[in-house]
A and B are shown apart, each in its own frame.
Chain A
């Protein structure tokens, strides 16, 4: 049985695709056969973040409509042998994603032996987003410590709890909260919601706090999932989050301000 993990948020630009790429790569790194699917039909970007944009021949919608087989459309990652990518279509409209079609593709992926199917949800609560979460066993809610993101995350939680397949069958989707773009110094100054504030409001178990980091842009510039950058705090924080997702109990890192030296305090700046 494959486990379907949907990465979702409601709001756009909070780091869903960065997180999908990182979580999928992290699971693959730990030896799990993983596929990551872009559900953002019309506006695909996962291929770019994964660095496979020049290798996309067929996409998710081609497979659903029978124009290509899954084997033709799956892109094997060149860094991690356990990782494959299924790109979204650039041209077709969102209605191409049908419950039946998506269900069939997910079933086929499970038959092929994938342990984890990571679904990168588009922003919003339209078809692409509802399809991405419909089959979810687990949901990773990506939230920035900012009012509109937190509110939208709560709306997405409501949809998970009422419109997902598991909810409709009387069950429950496992929910995990991931806070991104966290700035511990601003939290300490009372300028940003703390991780505990966000957890209190959303009442979801926290699996990770990703600090605001230059490494994230660098990773997307070069098409390498940030989790593979083991010299970066964001990469390490994603690594921890994946371990917590798998049930490990680890202390949170990078949630207190970096100690500034006397010189950098006098000269100002820092990073």
Chain B
């Protein structure tokens, strides 16, 4: 086994894949957790308002709250359809 490992070069192990996937997923989940409780509701309401005027897909509206120093920035991203 060890010998084969020597010649097969640096193939990524499944444990390394697990670590990478977890790091991405958990940092994303932690970011959502840090936001205030009203963010999901706010996102839903904004989506309703936008939908009154343009038809957008549910997953094309994203909202996030970032803190920079003593200011908070509410970032709203709406992907509008081409036509």
Contacts and interface: CB of A to CB of B under 8 A. Distances in A.
**Physical interaction between A and B:** yes
Interface of A: 146-147, 150-151, 154-155, 158, 162, 187, 189-194, 197, 200-201
Contacts of B13: 189-191
B33 interface: yes
A190 B16 contact: yes
A197 B15 contact: yes
Contact of B15 (A155, A162, A190): A190
A215 to B, nearest CB: 25
B82 interface: no
A197 B25 CA distance: 15
A201 B26 contact: yes
A151 B27 CA distance: 11
A147 B33 contact: no
Given A150-B22, A155-B29, A189 B1 contact: yes
A151 B1 CA distance: 31
**B contact face: mostly helix, strand, loop, or mixed:** helix
Interface string B7-39: 000000111101101110110011001000000
A158 B16 CA distance: 24
Contacts, number: 42
Interface residues of B, number: 15
Contacts of A146: 18
Contact of B26 (A151, A192, A197): A151
B15 A147 contact: no
Given A154-B29, A155-B29, A158-B30, A192 B15 contact: yes
Contact of B14 (A150, A162, A190, A201): A190
A158 B33 CA distance: 7
Contacts of A187: 15
B45 to A, nearest CB: 23
Contacts of A158: 29-30, 33
18 contacts: A146-B18, A147-B18, A147-B22, A151-B26, A151-B29, A154-B26, A154-B30, A155-B29, A158-B30, A189-B13, A190-B15, A190-B16, A191-B15, A193-B22, A194-B15, A197-B18, A201-B22, A201-B23
B24 to A, nearest CB: 10
Nearest to B25: A151
A191 B29 CA distance: 25
Contact of A191 (B14, B21, B22): B14
Contacts of A197: 15, 18-19
A192 B33 CA distance: 28
Nearest to B33: A158
